[in-house]
Amino acid sequence: MYDALPDLVWLKDPHGIYLDCNLRFTQFFGASKADIVGKRDHDFVSTELANAFLEHDRKAMQQDRPTSNEEWLTFACDGYHGLFETIKTPIRDRSGQLMGVMGVARDITLLRQHQQQLDYAAHYNALTGLPNQVLLIDRIHQSLKHGKRKQSQVALCYLDLDGFKDINDRLGREVGDQLLVSLSRQLRQSLREEDTLAHLGGDDFVILLVNRDETANLPYTLQQLLDSLHQPVQIGHHTINMSASIGATSYPSDQADPDTLLRHAHHAMYVAKKHNKGTACLYDPELDRRERVHQDGLSRIRQGLKQDEFRLYYQPKIDMRSGKLVGVEALIRWQHPERGVLALIISCRTS
């Protein structure tokens, strides 16, 4: 019945002599069952491979439990070469006497290929083939550990292309994708082998610069990266000139965790893009603090509007000479639940 199984199945005695095997196993050796039974591995495969088989047999018998290993096998019948997971189980009779080892080998070649494809998809950008954020964060972790041991600088640079959305809208998604691939090649060529260029999606790239001397001139390096993108890119019959904005932070001056370092570099990029596109900006903790305070304030105002915390007051305007009412001023006051009544710089005058 086990001749119908796609797995290789066989039985050996304690000395490595074959007692039985199924049809699929005979295809591996390229011999009939009658020719295999009573013989050893050395009669069919190389000495190196036969010794490896016997070593796994001994391991299963010594440990007295099933053992498993992975091995590449080449079939004698048709030359098929595949990865197999082999499980070897010691077999005993009713009295407990060791009878030998039963082996079962399953072809896991396609399974391993699928696993590798899933692993690649989980760690690399599908368009550019560059590391994605998952792999980037892992490499930042490793780089920071190395930087602490070697007392070297680690720099994280967040790069965003200027005007990329307009190119996508004007020339189409396909041209935009080809542009991203071309620019990623240009950036990669300007980096050292040990540095990492990651593509987070869209037109967002991150560059991890490692093993840098602590006196390294980071602004100069950032300018080199910007210059590498100034060359016109030819996509079909379109000649495209691009620029980018870069924000950067570096260890050990910035000793945050990888996710926070990435946020700091992104904030510095945002500052560069906001004030002067096509330039680089180093992370400034004070600017970041002010920006967070500003954003928190806007968020709290939006919350106050939803919770009806704002009040409208009318204030009369009196002519001090005549004492007459000459108009009113409408004022917004914020009835803050924790800070009391707050004045906003918003008013509407009428007369």
Question: What's residue 338's pLDDT?
Answer: 81
Q: State pLDDT tens for residues 314-350.
A: 888 888 888 888 888 888 888 888 888 877 654 444 4
As a whole number, the mean pLDDT across the chain is 90
- For residue 182, which of 239, 245, 233, 232 has the smallest C-alpha distance? 233
pLDDT band at 215 (very low <50, low <70, confident <90, very high): low
What is the percentage of the chain residues whose pLDDT exceeds 90? Answer: 60
Among 62-66, 155-159, 319-323, the minimum mean pLDDT is found in 319-323
Is the domain covering 2-112 a CATH 3.90.1150.10 domain?
no
CA 41, CA 44: separation in Å to the nearest integer? 6
Question: What's residue 229's pLDDT?
Answer: 87
Higher pLDDT, 337 or 20: 20
Question: What's residue 349's pLDDT?
Answer: 47
Structural tokens at position 11 = 């039985």
Question: What's residue 288's pLDDT?
Answer: 66
Residue 351 has pLDDT above 60, yes or no: no
Q: What angle do CA 244, 248, 253 make, to 5 degrees?
A: 170
Domain ranges of the chain: 2-112, 125-298, 309-350
Higher pLDDT, 230 or 199: 199
pLDDT band at 302 (very low <50, low <70, confident <90, very high): confident
Question: What's residue 335's pLDDT?
Answer: 83
Task: Fill in the amino acid letter for 23.
Answer: L
The answer to whether the beta carbons of residues 33 and 9 sit under 8 Å apart is no
Q: Give buried/exposed letters for 47-63 (b at 16+ CB in 10 A, else e).
A: eebbeebbebbeebbee
Domain 125-298: state its class: alpha beta
Higher pLDDT, 58 or 275: 58
Q: State pLDDT tens for residues 66-82.
A: 999 999 999 999 999 99
Q: Which residues contact 222 (CB under 8 A, 6 or more apart)?
A: 157, 246, 248, 280
Question: What's residue 151's pLDDT?
Answer: 86
